[in-house]
Structures are given as C-alpha cells and as structure tokens.
Amino acid sequence: MITPGMQPANPTDADLVCLAQAGDIRSLGQLLERHRPYMLAVAFSILGPGMDAQDAVQDACLLAIRRIGQLRSPNAPGPWLAAIVRRVCLNARRASQHEMALSSIGEFAEPASPLALEAMIDTLARRDWVWTALTALPETLQVVVMLRYFSERSSYAEIAAILSIPVGTVRSRLNESRRRLATSLAATADSTHDAAREVTRTFQQQFSSFLDSYNQGIIDREKIETYAPNVSGVIGGAAFLGRDALERELRADTLAGVKLHPRTVLASPYVAVCEATWENPPEHPFHCPPGMAYVEYIRDEIVTSIRVFHAPRSPLVEA
C-alpha cells in the first residue's frame, strides 16, 4: 500500500493519483506537470495557440486541485484532465462576450448546500498548498482568486460588484494571478504548508465563535475588537466609517432575530472572504436579503476595511 511520503522511484499515474487523493501535494504537482502538455494541446485545439489557451489550462489545473478526490479511475487521469480543460475552453469560447463562472462547470461543480464550519477545514493539504502560493500574491490579486475559485460568488460580474471594480479589472487581475500562481504552485509543491493551514483554522474558529454568539442575539466583543476604530467599508452599497457604526449594523440585525449560516470561510494573513445565508424570523421575513458575501482586509491582525455584498432577492420575492 502506498502512503503519503512513500512515493515509489518511478511512480505511475495511478500511484500519483492515489497519493494525491491521500493528501500528498508533491504527487499532485507531479501529476499536473506530467499531463500539462496534453492539456495544453487540448486547449490549443479548441481556442488556438495563445494566452487564452494557457489561461484555460491554468483554470483547469486549479479545478483539478480542488476536484482530485472525484477522480474514480486512478489509471486514467489523462481523459479526466482533458475533460476539465475541454469544458473550461468551451465555456470560455461560449462566454467570450460575457463572463464564465467556474463554479457552474457541470459535473465538476460541488453542490451548493450549507456547510458546518468544522467541515470547511479540509482534511487534505491541497487547499493549504494553494493558500501558501496565494500569500505570495498582492492582496488585490489574492481576493479575486479567493472569490473566483473558492466561493459561490465566482462570476466576473459578482466579483466586480463585491469589490466595486470594473469587470475588465477583475479579468486582468485574474490573468495576472494565474500567471503568478503557476510559478508559485510549482515552487511550493514540496514545501510544508503549516502556516497557511493555521491562518485558515484560526480564522474559521474565530468566525465560528462569532456566529454562535450572533445567532443567540449577542455581539462578540472579541470579534468587534479585531476591527480598527476607524474601519471603513461598504455594506449593501452604503458606505460606513468606524467600528461603532459597524457594531450598530450588527446589533440591529440581532435585535430583529436574524441568524447567519456559513457557506464559505476563507482566509490569508491579509484577506478574508466569507459567505453566508441569512435566516429571517417569521415576524420579519424580509429584514435581510437571502445571502451575503463579505471581504475583510487585514493589517497586523486588525481589520481595516470591509466590503459586504448582498445577494439579490428573486423578482417574485421583490414583487
């Protein structure tokens, strides 16, 4: 039996897949590099030579990192990877005048169901690998990658709305992120990723504690103290300034009996991205929109700025 850290001298594809699915990052990196030429050939056949094809391969590699546990035939990773590339390319070509949401890529998408916070802490190391590479990026690039590849608000339009930047800026930042990540992922495949794991785990534990209190109608003072006194940002399109103003917003929701249920919790030392659905009380069924996504910008463990995006209600609810 092959276990992580016991890679054979000349591993087969099946060896690399089994090790990767058991959490061995070096094997996952080797597998992707071994099949990259074939993946690029598939992309060239659909999009033609050029940066679009190379970007599609990078998208496909990042998807494969997340989905490797879904590969059921360890002996045949090539067709599986080619299928991911093909789907990415076809979506890119079909949406050339619009945007492509990677989270909607058919059978490779995860079900959109609420998750317990404990379940969000990955048992495999591959997310920590990506997180370690992410920390080498500027925060403006970190946040678009987090939203694009690891959140449900992953379309260019949604990212632009959350960050209040043009769609073209989202696109250019993602292109730059993909190029830098390709280099960083390759460089850190053999590294340990304890620091990235600890940052994510700590933030998730803090957020879990905050939600436990919030859903009981209590504002967690420890969480409030992580915001700078002059913290600024935008909540649902309205600007605010100051920790007191933010606390008033939170307190108004708890007094109305609103509860928050987490869906995605992501963190690096400088950026955190969270998504949640609101549960409104029967007496105030329209107090909050159905969901939200928010971004925190962090300096020396203090939140200096936040942006909160409210998911739109359905036209039927608005009516």
Can you tell me the distance from the alpha carbon of 103 to that of 100, in angstroms, rounded to the nearest whole number? 9
Give the tens place of pLDDT for each residue, 174-202. Answer: 888 877 776 676 666 555 656 666 777 78
Residue 190 lies in a domain: no
Q: Is the pLDDT of residue 318 over 70?
A: no
In a domain? residue 48: yes
List pLDDT tens digits, range 100-120: 333 333 333 333 333 443 333
The number of distinct structural domains making up the chain is 2
Q: Which of 95, 118, 153 is the last residue of a domain?
A: 95
Contacts of 240 (CB under 8 A, 6+ apart): 232, 233, 234, 246, 249
- pLDDT on residue 117: 39
Neighbours of 78 (CB within 10 A): 15
Q: Give the CATH number of the domain where residue 86 resides.
A: 1.10.1740.10
In a domain, 43, yes or no: yes
Sequence-distant contacts of 12-16: CB under 8 A, at least 24 apart: 12/75, 13/74, 13/75, 13/76, 13/77, 13/78, 14/74, 14/75, 16/77
Parent domain of 33 = 11-95
**CA nearest neighbour of 133 among 114, 117, 120, 146:** 146
Res 198: pLDDT: 76
Residue 47 placed within a domain: yes
Lowest mean per-residue pLDDT among 28-32, 76-80, 311-315: 311-315
Q: Is residue 238 part of a domain?
A: yes
**Which residue among 38, 67, 95 closes a domain?**
95
CATH code, 205:
3.10.450.50
Are residues 203 and 312 both part of a single domain? yes
Q: Cβ of 145: how many Cβ atoms within 10 Å?
A: 24
- Which one has a higher pLDDT value, 50 or 273? 273
Quick check: is 5 in a domain?
Answer: no
Q: Which residues contact 211 (CB under 8 A, 6 or more apart)?
A: 117, 260, 262, 276
How confident is the model at residue 107, as a pLDDT?
33
- pTM above 0.75? no
Q: Is residue 202 part of a domain?
A: yes
Is the residue at 114 inside a domain?
no
List, for residues 237-268, the tens digit of each pLDDT value: 889 999 999 999 889 889 989 999 888 787 87
Distance CA 246, CA 249 (A): 5
Q: Of 37, 70, 95, which closes a domain?
A: 95
Whether the predicted pLDDT of 46 surpasses 50: yes
Q: What percent of the chain has pLDDT over 90?
A: 16
